[in-house]
Structure 1
């Protein structure tokens, strides 16, 4: 969990810094989102390799040498013949190409989300890792059902949390009480975006739990 630091006052009580809310919003977005520079680098490298290969094949064709894999001239001739004789195939290829281009544009414009949530507080900018939320939910579920640490596992996504319980064989677990405890835990945290919990029991119990 990260937060902006508070300045101590002469009396010893921490005084919260006066920071514009716009700065908080920028900090929170930076901490909860990441750039897609890695994906952009991969795409650019692939395009560079394709362009380099086409250039090599073009040089081979100009020198009258056999193609390494295919000749760009033959590929162009095939595309032209397909455009005149197989309009359906050309339309399908065009649609697929357009969708791929649209996907690349969306990836370039949007940013990737990190596994973190924020807490709505006007005084400080607080970011909580999803693993911390999952650990808190697992602890609440164990306490509500009287379970051992290895009997509960939790994962948290942007708006959902799944609590999976492996009860001891022959022992009944009150799912509703566990779900209520998970909801109380999430409401107390006040995470943004809001997380909706779900509790599941495994089909087989655990011996010696």
Structure 2
């Protein structure tokens, strides 16, 4: 696949970091605006809104010696955990509920709901059950199929498994899907 298609596929299958970026930018802007306001008030000889810059620096310098030490350590650990979570959020790729379908040199993006619907339709045909008695959920790497047979009509589990495997293989999606098939022991009343 060419580079522009690869970029488009990545953009359509991964979630952006826009909300986190905007939130962090707003918090940084507010902190800078507050610090700037306090500095301007200090230069004009006015009283501080919350704390003067000199008092803030003094408090920061004495922070390691303050009591109770456990509370200070807990606060430091909390800040470290928030920082680690932000780093992990930046590094890890957020996935959307979509898959890339390999179709020659074309970029085709398929929603997981569409894949689930197509697999369910095939299962209903093979298992000879009415529409709605095959439930399929598709996640990033797995398709889970649950079939509720019609009362009195057995379902051949092996043929359903084979049909699901063939259906998933025919799509050739990336990342590849593994599947699990479960036939319920209790049936639904036929219509």
* Distance in 2 (alpha carbons) for counterparts of 1:89 and 1:175: 59
Match of 1:172 among 130, 147, 154: 154
Deviation at residue 45 of structure 1 after TM alignment: 4.7
Cα deviations by residue, 1:137-181 (Å, 9 ceiling, x for unpaired): 101211121111111121111101111222334543333322221
User: Is 1:152 the equivalent of 2:155?
Assistant: no
Deviation at residue 109 of structure 1 after TM alignment: 4.5
DSSP 3-state at the match of 2:140: coil
Partner of 1:129: 111
| Stretch deviating more after TM superposition (151-160 or 89-98) | 89-98
Return closer, same or farther for 1:47/1:164 CA change in 2, 3 Å cut-off: farther
* Distance in 2 (alpha carbons) for counterparts of 1:107 and 1:121: 32
DSSP 3-state at the match of 1:150: coil
User: Is 1:27 the equivalent of 2:2?
Assistant: no
TM-score of the aligned structures, taking structure 1 as reference length: 0.67
User: Is 1:36 the equivalent of 2:12?
Assistant: no
8 A contact 2:149–2:155 mirrored in 1: yes
DSSP 3-state at the match of 2:136: strand
Partner of 2:75: 93
Instruction: For structure 2, list consecutive stretches of 5 or more residues without a partner in the other structure.
Output: none
* Distance in 1 (alpha carbons) for counterparts of 2:181 and 2:22: 40
Number of residue equivalences: 183
Cα deviations by residue, 1:18-66 (Å, 9 ceiling, x for unpaired): xx7222212221221231212333444566678889999xx9xx9699x
Deviation at residue 202 of structure 1 after TM alignment: 4.5
DSSP 3-state at the match of 1:125: strand
Instruction: For structure 1, list consecutive stretches of 5 or more residues without a partner in the other structure.
Output: 1-19
* Distance in 2 (alpha carbons) for counterparts of 1:81 and 1:21: 55
8 A contact 2:13–2:97 mirrored in 1: yes
8 A contact 2:66–2:72 mirrored in 1: no
| Stretch deviating more after TM superposition (189-198 or 92-101) | 92-101
TM-score of the aligned structures, taking structure 2 as reference length: 0.72
